Chain A
């Protein structure tokens, strides 16, 4: 992911305006840095079929050459253009203007859980620090013929989580860190819970991710409000298929007296 402050050639990315099918829209875009900033008004033409990122490009090209915005693929696959549109976390490149309330001004701000660098660009390095803390995939030894064998049904649960594009909107909307800066030290967030779940469900992985999730990454702080799932542009069922199954696995290990009696809670089972 790169920061593109495209002031060098802003018109290169701004689509032209088809006057026969365009209309005028009012935008409020947050401009500023980590010290100060405010919403600024822009009146801008919009074409049929355009997305919010198109409009940001047009503002950048015609009215605010120095506006900073991070983007890359413009196809909802790189996760770079995450922002908040009318207060809701969204990818700017995947938010059609026609899907917003007609006639109302559109408010675009940077993600509010992370420190701002400039305008719509935030410092998401918190997420990379958390990613470093998760031990890598540690497969069991290969079989005698030097291969691994897995059935599709054994790996497909984890494959859902591989769709993650790391837009970090789930991290941004999670109130545990969004509303409590102090929790960032002890809480990895939904993006990394599904990484832990993916690895824990993997039939070849040998690391114990369950207690790690609970004791180091703050799984117990999640109170299942499902906002991460609501904002995921890849429609990953983060809560139902990732976080809750991981919580249930932790219950097996830590909170279920029957499992303790049966001796099933001492180590991760891989049956």
Chain B
């Protein structure tokens, strides 16, 4: 590293890459650990294609919602099976590409994984290990600019997961208030809040305007999204944990590890 970055000629001659003594490494370490665990878990679940639906309780894993292929368990395909047989792999892969793209290009997640995985930089005022840097100007990172498209494409998914939750409450023509339905509804609400709090949504809602006074409804929408946007990081984490837990809960119920506690 000698001769580049903070060690460049003319800058203060200090040998250490950082003089920070606080636990700057803790946040990227937590991010790395949790994201890695989620990636491993979700990859296994997405390819596994087993115990994704509890027919008795009408609980469908959010990783598989909507389930669009003929491989889907009976009763799990609320939108039918338009994909039929042509997609030979797990039906989750058709769906997960959308939230994956949305989160990979999310402005909060970019900060989180650039720090935790790419160490660019690992923390503020901590020198990064890379000798060259071009940012998001070239392939593949230039595709971060597709964030708004993933926003639009993944926006229906929380609504569909919410529909799954309601379907579990009103199953087979009878009311049944189960814990699983509540878990799905919590996942749906947090996912929707995360989506609506996104910076692209804020821009589309009104951020691109220069004359708010000429567009009072969009201005009002922009102020509401701005409030949500202030919690974007928290919503990113909460929704991730919520959807993770929802899938795990469905797995446990579908595998008969425990039954879905319910009233009615």
Interface positions of A (Cβ within 8 A of B): 30, 32, 34, 36-39, 84, 86-89, 101, 104, 107, 109-110, 112-116, 122, 151, 153-154, 173, 175-176, 178-181, 183, 200-203, 218, 220-227, 230-231, 239-240, 244-245, 247-252, 254-256, 269-271
Contacts and interface: CB of A to CB of B under 8 A. Distances in A.
A269 B255 CA distance: 56
Contacts of A230: 124
Contact of A202 (B22, B137, B199, B210): B210
A198 to B, nearest CB: 11
B257 interface: no
A244 B107 contact: yes
Interface string B5-28: 110111111100011111000000
9 contacts: A87-B125, A109-B14, A112-B125, A122-B12, A178-B5, A178-B127, A179-B5, A181-B8, A222-B136
Given A88-B124, A153-B213, A218-B137, 18 more contacts: A36-B13, A87-B125, A88-B125, A107-B19, A109-B19, A112-B12, A151-B211, A175-B133, A176-B135, A179-B128, A179-B130, A183-B133, A220-B135, A223-B141, A231-B124, A248-B148, A248-B208, A249-B203
A178 B26 CA distance: 22
B19 A175 contact: no
B258 to A, nearest CB: 42
A251 B148 contact: yes
Contacts of A249: 203, 208
Contact of A203 (B9, B19, B111, B211): B211
B121 A225 contact: yes
B-side interface mostly? loop
Given A151-B212, A176-B135, A30 B12 contact: yes
Nearest to A230: B124
Interface in B1-60: 4-6, 8-14, 18-22
Nearest to A31: B12
Contacts of B128: 175, 179
A208 B173 CA distance: 59
Nearest to B233: A226
Interface string B198-215: 011011000111111111
Contacts of A256: 148
A263 to B, nearest CB: 15
Nearest to A241: B226
A225 B120 contact: yes
A104 B127 CA distance: 23
Interface string B96-124: 00000000000100110011000011001
B12 A221 contact: no
A86 B19 CA distance: 6
A89 B146 CA distance: 33
Given A116-B10, A154-B212, A252-B208, A180 B125 contact: no
B21 A86 contact: yes
A271 B209 contact: yes
Nearest to B118: A223
A84 B121 contact: no
A100 B211 CA distance: 45
